[in-house]
Amino acid sequence: MWLILVKLAWRNLFRNKRRTIIASIAIGIGLAALIFVDALWVGMERNMVETATASFLGDGQIHRAGFREAQAAEMTINELGKVAGDLSQEAIVERFSHRTFTFGMITSAANVSAISLVGVQPPTERFLTQIDDAITEGAYFEGDNNRDIVIGAKLAELLDVTLGTRVVVTVAQSESGDLSQEMFRISGIYRFGDEAMESGMAFVRLAKAQEMLAIGSQVHEIAIKFTDTKYGQDTASTFWDRYSQHGNEAVSWTEILPQLQVAFEMSKFTKYILGVVLFGVVVFGIINTLFMSLYERMFEFGVLRAVGTRPLGMARLILFEAGALAIVSIVLGTILGFALTWIFAIVGIDYTGIEMMGVTIRDLIYPVMTIQPFILYSIWVFIFTIITGLYPARYAAKIAPAAAMRRSF
């Protein structure tokens, strides 16, 4: 019985090949769009996470508790040696680097500007940030001159300086508050695409920054790069508790940039809304195809009812036709979705320079193809098509034999 219904459903569905193909393509396009958007969102999330963490933040950071709010020069990390030693033994930690932070003033012959002065260790910092890759003029701390300073292109324009120009940096020492001034030479200029970084941050060697702040060998921050970015997103990991001791605080990038994590959560609802809209559009194509097929065979349905076919049997036949339409649509949709995602996974999509949730996209976005959306969305298309077919199936079940047989096309 079931095999007969399957054969009848396929035969009836392709009585009008053009209509069936058009309806299948419409449903398939909706499925392909969902698959592609899902892959695009995954690729965009990865791109934004890598941009945010690799640009400067790192996957996680360790500070003295309260330093992120106060930004006080005297709030250095407690028990730095022990913390650094423990980090070097962590299997999930790939790299980490020490930093100092302080507010100061930078002065040139032409102008003066407030900056955030960052002391870095160039050999380790290269693995955590992309500043060295963003250098457009000069170099990123080559040699051992401790009076080199690297600034952003916007700041260079404001100060009207070029490579080799001497500038004076003024900061307040940590304990006494006395002003400390040092002369530096512009050794590198970076263009990062982030206006705040380009206009408000300057980098010097860690030892020189420590000397200016009179903090000895202490630091304000340890930036961490994990072996996998997923560890930075796992806020429930015991890693953060282990290093939030002795008055210190370990935080993931999701706490430093909470708006980015919120955007990722909102993206899930966006995909659901898109799915509802797309399925809402194709539902009319499904109903139209099934009803047109039903009306063309109204006389046949009347004969079937007259010879004793029960209403449930009539409805079942329509539902099998809906299932056949769903299968054809799923095949077309998965092929189209795979092709579309595969093409853009190679060529990428250019959103460079666009700022989203505090992160400026610097690289092409490449959709990430996974098996889950192909399976999940295909199942939903099949279920949705069957549910949509309930209406014409109910109509077919209620057909009166005499009325149906009087119809002629």
- How far apart CA 194 and CA 124 sit, in angstroms, is 22
Report the alpha-carbon distance of residue 270 to residue 272 in Å, rounded. Answer: 5
Query: Would you give the end-to-end CA distance of the chain in angstroms?
Result: 29
- Strand, coil or helix: what is 343? helix
**97 three-class SS:** strand
Local confidence pLDDT in tens for the 409 residues of the chain: 556 656 665 666 666 677 777 777 888 888 888 888 888 888 887 777 777 777 778 888 999 998 888 888 888 999 988 999 999 898 898 889 999 999 999 999 889 999 999 999 988 888 888 788 888 888 888 888 889 999 999 999 999 999 989 999 999 888 777 888 999 999 999 887 677 788 889 999 999 999 999 998 899 999 998 888 788 878 788 889 889 888 999 988 878 777 766 667 776 777 777 777 777 767 777 777 777 766 666 666 666 666 666 767 677 777 777 788 888 888 998 999 999 999 988 888 777 666 665 566 667 788 888 888 898 888 888 888 888 777 777 777 676 666 656 655 4
Sequence letter at residue 175: E
Both tokens assigned to 14? 């392709």
Phi/psi zone of residue 253: left (φ > 0), alpha (ψ -120 to 50 degrees), beta? alpha
Which of helix, strand or coil describes residue 360?
Answer: strand
Cα distance between residue 37 and residue 55, in whole Å: 26
Say which DSSP state 329 is in: H
Spatial separation of the C-alpha atoms in residues 316 and 330, rounded to whole Å: 21
User: Whole-model pTM?
Assistant: 0.69
